[in-house]
């Protein structure tokens, strides 16, 4: 991203009655904001820092100090964490099944992080703590009623869908175990925190059903409308399909494989010049093996917009996972035609045939891509409608204003709620 786009000041939003001292706890340094979790944390930090005093406490590898100054208006405290050896990770996954504690939760907790929290609270007062993901909620804070949980996904849904869509028996076994453990864990946590943030109304209904006394606010994943803007110079390659995402994340790996192995052969039969481009950080070995004359595995890029702007279709063939997907929001903001599965665009206020096209099998997904390839008027119409939707509902300014509303409720609870 360009410096101008990353650091442009966010517009003011209705403020809490007084300036708050906030502690935000993250399991990774949200900079540079080139993937979903980092983008959400980074952009909401920008919104919060306009009107509050914000401290970010985050895990980061040695050497990360140099980038901390690039998060404007936010003090950053680092807890060092190196890479976990692959064999140690596998052992920990096996232990989690025996101990009945979700592996990801154990991975988010550390003595070093707890010591850092205790140290900060020993000489500072924080009005609210926001934890970025349920995996960090086993950390101890002085007043759980002042803790706000930002649920980037409902994690047990992610594991449930990964279990349903996975082919490996060993992975299916592990995902099923994590699904059950996370379901019990998240249901308990939602009732213990002071407030909960989710990315869609669908997820809000799930949280309210299990924690009716916990305030819940929908803060959608958003987009920088100026950075992800359509350009007059955009020239798409007519029969090019682009998929982007973190390529070491299982739902994205599954989606890319599905696109190449199941959807692409159907398109080849109709379009001899069809090309698939796969873009994203850390392509796994499975992804790299997909490379072929008509399949380009690009890997990580500093700026995803050129690849997206060349897309005749941005494909989101997601079959597992949760939350709402930045790849959809960003593609719509760029006014690119999108074909998605139902799960891929879940939680986003899109209408099939108006803002994008939906196909849930390899055949229907290929058919929807073909509709866009063959009907440029349709492609232009849904692309413009998609951009208009994002402008109305998915700016980070709107997300910041919604978060302020929840802060008012948690920081200044009504007598009815206290009782």
327-357 pLDDT per residue, tens? 999 999 999 999 999 999 998 999 999 999 9
Q: Does 8 have pLDDT greater than 50? A: no
pTM of the complete model beyond 0.95? no
What backbone phi and psi angles, to 5 degrees, belong to 87? -65, -35
Q: Does 9 have pLDDT greater than 50? A: no
Which residues are paired to 241 by β-bridges? Answer: 276, 313
Sign of CA pseudo-dihedral 76, 135, 253, 267: negative
Q: How many CA atoms lie within 13 A of 347 on its CB side?
A: 28
Ranges 99-108, 187-196, 234-243, 304-313: which has the least confidence = 99-108
3-state class percentages of the chain: helix first, strand second, coil last, to nearest 5 = 45, 15, 40
The pLDDT tens digits for 30-52 are: 988 877 889 999 999 999 999 89
**pLDDT of res. 416:** 45
* All residues at 6 or more sequence positions from 374 whose CB lies less than 8 Å from its CB, including other chains: none
**Cβ–Cβ < 8 Å for 336, 312:** no
CA distance 245 to 280: 5
DSSP annotation of 12 reads: P
Quote the tokens at residue 99: 């101990």
**Cβ–Cβ < 8 Å for 339, 315:** yes
* All residues at 6 or more sequence positions from 390 whose CB lies less than 8 Å from its CB, including other chains: 223, 225, 329, 332, 333
Q: Does 101 have pLDDT greater than 90? A: no
**What SS3 class is residue 354?**
coil
Kindly indicate the confidence band of residue 176, based on its pLDDT and cuts at 50, 70 and 90. confident
**pLDDT of res. 403:** 93
Kindly indicate the confidence band of residue 82, based on its pLDDT and cuts at 50, 70 and 90. low
Q: Does 324 have pLDDT greater than 60? A: yes
**pLDDT of res. 234:** 59
Q: Does 2 have pLDDT greater than 80? A: no
**Cβ–Cβ < 8 Å for 194, 147:** yes
CA dihedral of residues 78, 27, 181, 201 (deg, nearest 10)? 140
**Element containing residue 4 per DSSP (H, E):** helix 3-7
Tell me the C-alpha to C-alpha distance, in Å, between residue 81 and each of 59, 64, 93, 112, 369: 6, 11, 19, 9, 43
Kindly indicate the confidence band of residue 61, based on its pLDDT and cuts at 50, 70 and 90. confident
Give all domains of the chain, ordered by start, each with its CATH number: 3-222+396-418 (3.40.50.2000), 240-393 (3.40.50.2000)
């Amino acid at each position: 991203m360009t410096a101008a786009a990353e650091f442009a000041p966010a517009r003011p939003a209705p403020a809490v009655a007084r300036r708050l001292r906030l502690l935000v706890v993250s399991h990774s340094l949200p900079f540079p904001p080139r993937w979903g979790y980092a983008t959400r944390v980074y952009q909401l930090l920008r919104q919060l820092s306009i009107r509050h005093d914000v401290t970010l406490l985050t895990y980061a590898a040695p050497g990360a100090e140099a980038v901390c100054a690039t998060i404007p208006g936010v003090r950053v405290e680092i807890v060092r964490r190196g890479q976990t050896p692959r064999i140690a990770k596998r052992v920990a996954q096996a232990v989690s099944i025996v101990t009945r504690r979700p592996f990801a939760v154990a991975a988010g907790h550390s003595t070093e992080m707890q010591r850092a929290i205790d140290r900060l609270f020993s000489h500072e007062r924080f009005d609210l703590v926001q934890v970025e993901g349920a995996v960090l909620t086993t950390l101890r804070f002085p007043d759980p009623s002042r803790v706000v949980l930002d649920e980037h996904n409902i994690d047990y849904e992610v594991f449930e869908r990964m279990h349903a869509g996975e082919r490996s028996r060993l992975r299916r076994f592990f995902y099923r175990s994590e699904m059950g453990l996370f379901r019990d864990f998240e249901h308990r946590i939602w009732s213990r925190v002071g407030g909960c943030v989710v990315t869609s109304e669908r997820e809000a209904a799930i949280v309210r059903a299990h924690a009716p006394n916990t305030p819940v606010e929908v803060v959608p994943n958003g987009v920088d409308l100026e950075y992800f803007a359509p350009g007059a110079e955009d020239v798409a390659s007519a029969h090019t399909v682009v998929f982007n995402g973190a390529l070491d994340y299982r739902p994205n790996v599954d989606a890319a494989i599905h696109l190449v192995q199941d959807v692409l052969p159907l398109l080849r039969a109709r379009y001899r010049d069809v090309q698939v481009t796969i873009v994203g950080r850390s392509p796994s070995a499975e992804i790299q093996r997909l490379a072929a004359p008509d399949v380009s595995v690009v890997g990580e890029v500093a700026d995803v917009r050129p690849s997206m702007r060349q897309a005749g279709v941005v494909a989101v063939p997601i079959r597992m996972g949760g939350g709402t997907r930045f790849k959809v929001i960003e593609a719509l903001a760029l006014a690119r035609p999108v074909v998605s599965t139902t799960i891929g665009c879940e939680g986003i206020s899109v209408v099939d045939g108006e803002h994008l096209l939906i196909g849930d099998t390899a055949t229907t997904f290929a058919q929807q891509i073909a509709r866009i390839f063959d009907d440029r008027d349709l492609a232009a119409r849904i692309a413009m409608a998609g951009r208009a939707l994002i402008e109305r509902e998915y700016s980070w300014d709107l997300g910041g204003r919604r978060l302020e509303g929840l802060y008012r409720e948690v920081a200044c609870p009504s007598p009815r709620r206290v009782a």
